[in-house]
Amino acid sequence: MKVLIVEDELGVAQNLCDLLMETSHEIEILAIIESVKDAVYWLSTNPPPDLGFFDIRIADGDSFDIFRQTDIQFPVIFTTAYDEYALRAFKVNSVDYLLKPIGKNELEAALSKYESIYKSKKVGNNELLSLIQKIQKTQPQTYKNNLLVYVRDKILPIAVEKIAYFYLEKQLVHCVTHQNEKFVIEQSLDKIELQLNPNSFFRANRQFIVSRMSINSATQHFHRKLKLDLSPAAKEEVLISKLKASHFKKWLEM
């Protein structure tokens, strides 16, 4: 079985590859693609895979844009953190989904379903677009107002609106408030990102999630990257890749 993975988080993609290899030695990973642009190009220049694993939120938009720009005629399993009820329509229309973090049992069940139902069945592009539009309309917009932080032996709630940015350092996630207070949060950046309003916070890179209110400016950097000037100042450079630069600028002017 030939598999295409669309995922912009290297760690998540590698974990999925490892789980797929553990599940079956007959699986061949054709490519790991990080953006809509690269996915559209790859699909236009290569034979279609047997199965795709598509993250919904990726570097330069969302993977739904891939369906709008290409004629996909192969089954896709979405890897996402969207609510189960909003995605229930996928269950009856030749598409499956896996909630992050992906577990081996869930992956095996999805592959079994693909083998028994989808393997010989083509997926219609119009059908997928109709489902995507339905999901986008029904997806509830609920985000955390508070997150728990750790101070010595205490666990304290902190209002999300007070946080300037989150960053990863030595395998620990920290948050910095607008008053330059620093706290440890016992969650991964991936999980935190899913709890934040995307209108207020942006995933700059694998180490930083920044609040709109913390951004003083963005300047051009080497290789078409952007360098952010944050308040309070970050301990290290906060760079946005050229793949995300256009998406970031659109987000910043919203």
Output phi, psi for 103, to 5 deg: -105, 155
Rounded-to-integer distance, Cα 63 and Cα 106, Å: 21
| 222 or 228, greater pLDDT | 228
Domain boundaries, the chain: 2-138, 146-252
Residue of 250, 252, 224 whose CA lies nearest to 239:
224
pTM of the model: 0.54
Q: Is the pLDDT of residue 12 over 60?
A: yes
Instruction: Give me the half-sphere count of Cα atoms (radius 13 Å) on the Cβ side of residue 72.
Output: 30
Helices (H) and strands (E) in the chain, counts: 7, 17
Q: What is the pLDDT of residue 117?
A: 67
CB 172 within 8 A of CB 150: no
Class of the 2-138 domain? alpha beta
Element (H, E) at 57: strand 57-58
Dig out the tokens for 142 from the structure. Answer: 């609920």
Mean pLDDT confidence for 105-123: 76
CATH architecture classification, 146-252? Beta Barrel (2.40)
